[in-house]
Amino acid sequence: MPLQHKDPTKTTAWAALTDHFNNTQTRDIKAAFASEENRAANFTIKWQDFYVDYSKNALHKETRKLLLDLAEELDLKTAIAQYFKGDLINQTESRAVLHTALRAGVEEQVLVDGQDVIPEITAVKAQMRDFVSAVENGEKRGYTGKAFTDVVNIGIGGSDLGPAMVVEALKHYKNHLNLHFVSNVDGDHVNEVIKKLDPETTLFVVVSKTFTTQETLSNATTIKKWFLSHAREQDIALHFAAVSTNTAKIAEFGIDPSHVFPMWDWVGGRFSLWSAVGLSIALAVGYEHFEQLLRGAHDMDTHFKTASFEENIPVVLSLISIWYANFHKAETQAIIPYTQYLSRFSAYLQQGIMESNGKCFDRAGNRVSYETESIIWGEPGTNSQHAFFQLMHQGTKLIPADFIGFKESLHGDIEHHHKLMANFFAQTEALLKGKDRAEVQAEFEAKGIALDNVTQIAPFKVFEGNKPTNTILINKLTPKSLGSLIALYEHKIFVQGFIWNIYSYDQWGVELGKQLATNILSDIEGQTNKDHDPSTAALLKQFMG
């Protein structure tokens, strides 16, 4: 069954939220703390090793109630059940959306077209496990008999960002294999990577759901050519592996059938790291760690399916995002992880969130009359504090932000970790509390600064505060907790897309650019300049001239 089509703005809950927004002062978060007893505890969800504090938000208990009413009125519960049981909720591509099945238990049953997909998933996992251990222990070797030392993941979008983000995030757990990623069709990218490699000891994993993506096929062809300038045609079988739904195309590339890892069209590219697309992850950290990543995601799936909406982390965080996007009209959302290991996390979520919910047509094909997804951005703290935090503290924009931190560090350097986490807590506190004119003045006076200077400078030192944040505090960055964290955001995408009445799992918006690039490439190669707008025609003339 497809997802229902219902305009959220036509619900009773939306009308009540509008009324509440217009008639209640929710932006003064400091005042809410002052007037509401136990606000911090009342707006916190504890689950496994996650502590999610959403008390520093521009909302009251009544706001939360109305947002939860919205989820109830739209019957989110039924939609969640449809998502997990493989209904064709990606209706515009006539597909189920079942990345959750990839981390389900072997005893579970998930049907696609009446066929249980769990046995196939289990078989591919076994193939991955055997392959990874053979590469790790040197059973599989290169064409001169040397063990592999390096692995190159060749893919783009979901076939790159997920593996690249997780390999970086789990660097602490890595084995002896060095991972590299080639994604951009820019030849400088692939050539810079090749420069560092020894063909005798490098394994290449070509990842493409469709196996038709220009960037990936170009990079794979360039790498193959480079490899063949050192080795023989039959050595390709030893050094190349591929992950795709398009197994026929892989054969054309000359990859040995035992190195072909299938995936399925019910796994969206941006949700595919749990499938064989995660082969590079398993190669980097070992198969057991990859399994733990899946286990963590599965636990979050269970939480999402079974917890009441009020205690449900993905549901609550989604409703808060809707509150800001649709009522406060916030344009962006920042995601700031306080660990260098998550340096690729925001980039990964940019695809996951914006490719999914960056839509302006509702599920009936009408243009929506309300806002959908925000612009997602972020960088790890504390680096970001020394870059864009000025604007978050004193700029004119409302920027809700998720702060993600860990109680324990991985290297156990307490001194550094205390400093890092002091900054983590200080930032959300500063964003909330700000500093008023009286405090600024008192600070000046305490330093004995002359009154004239105080009057001149004081206005610029005022922080208004009341800037909203969520704090996600997790015990430790492990494969399992990372799995749960990623799944949290995946489910958040689902809830928001469902409520906004849009299709989250297609990505037609990336097609036009691809089509035009094909035309322009033929112009460049044929030295023609056909059917372009005046600006593009002039630019092409300049480029080719």
Cβ-contact 275, 469 below 8 angstroms: no
- Helix or strand holding residue 53 (H, E): strand 50-53
Interaction residues for ligand F6P, span 156-215 (CB under 6 A): 156-159, 208-210, 213
Structure tokens that stand for 424 in this block: 């983590």
Q: Is 241 in the site for ligand F6P (CB under 6 A)?
A: no
Least separation, in Å, of the C-beta of 161 and ligand F6P?
8
Q: Any idea what DSSP says for residue 95? A: B
Angle, to 10 degrees, between the axis of helix 187-195 and the axis of helix 214-228? 40
Q: Given 355, 373, 379, 490, which residue is catalytic?
A: 355
Interaction residues for ligand F6P, span 413-452 (CB under 6 A): none
| Residue 386 known to be catalytic | yes
Structure tokens that stand for 532 in this block: 């372009």
Identify the residue among 270, 289, 298, 363 touching ligand F6P (CB under 6 A): 270
Q: Is 497 in the site for ligand F6P (CB under 6 A)?
A: no
48 vs 246 by CB, closer to ligand F6P: 246
Least separation, in Å, of the C-beta of 355 and ligand F6P?
6
Location of structure tokens 């079942």: 98
How far is the CA of 257 from the CAs of 210, 247, 250, 325, in angstroms?
A: 17, 9, 9, 48
Q: Is 269 in the site for ligand F6P (CB under 6 A)?
A: yes
| Residue 514 known to be catalytic | yes
Q: Given 329, 386, 411, 447, which residue is catalytic?
A: 386
Number of shown-chain residues binding ligand F6P (CB under 6 A): 14
Question: In 10 A of CB 527, how many CB atoms?
Answer: 7
Whole-angstrom Cα distance, residue 89 to residue 1?
7
Q: Is 352 in the site for ligand F6P (CB under 6 A)?
A: no
Q: Is 216 in the site for ligand F6P (CB under 6 A)?
A: yes
Interaction residues for ligand F6P, span 368-407 (CB under 6 A): none
Strands 178-182 and 150-154: parallel
Least separation, in Å, of the C-beta of 507 and ligand F6P?
5
Least separation, in Å, of the C-beta of 373 and ligand F6P?
15
| Residue 355 known to be catalytic | yes
213 vs 504 by CB, closer to ligand F6P: 213
299 vs 506 by CB, closer to ligand F6P: 506
Q: Is 357 in the site for ligand F6P (CB under 6 A)?
A: no
Least separation, in Å, of the C-beta of 146 and ligand F6P?
30
Location of structure tokens 């056909």: 530
360 vs 438 by CB, closer to ligand F6P: 360
Q: Is 350 in the site for ligand F6P (CB under 6 A)?
A: no
216 vs 501 by CB, closer to ligand F6P: 216
Cβ-contact 48, 484 below 8 angstroms: yes
List CB contacts of 27: < 8 A, sequence separation 6 or more.
58, 328, 466
Q: Is 99 in the site for ligand F6P (CB under 6 A)?
A: no
Q: Please name which of 459, 403, 396 lies closest in space to residue 430, comparing C-alpha atoms.
A: 403
Cβ-contact 313, 52 below 8 angstroms: yes
Query: What's the per-residue H, E or C state across 244-310?
Result: ECCHHHHHHHCCCHHHEEECCCCCCHHHHHHCHHHHHHHHHHCHHHHHHHHHHHHHHHHHHHHCCHH
Q: Is 280 in the site for ligand F6P (CB under 6 A)?
A: no
Q: Given 5, 514, 530, 541, which residue is catalytic?
A: 514
156 vs 349 by CB, closer to ligand F6P: 156
Supply the residues annotated as catalytic. 355, 386, 514
Binding footprint of ligand F6P on the chain (CB under 6 A): 156-159, 208-210, 213, 216, 269-270, 355, 507, 510
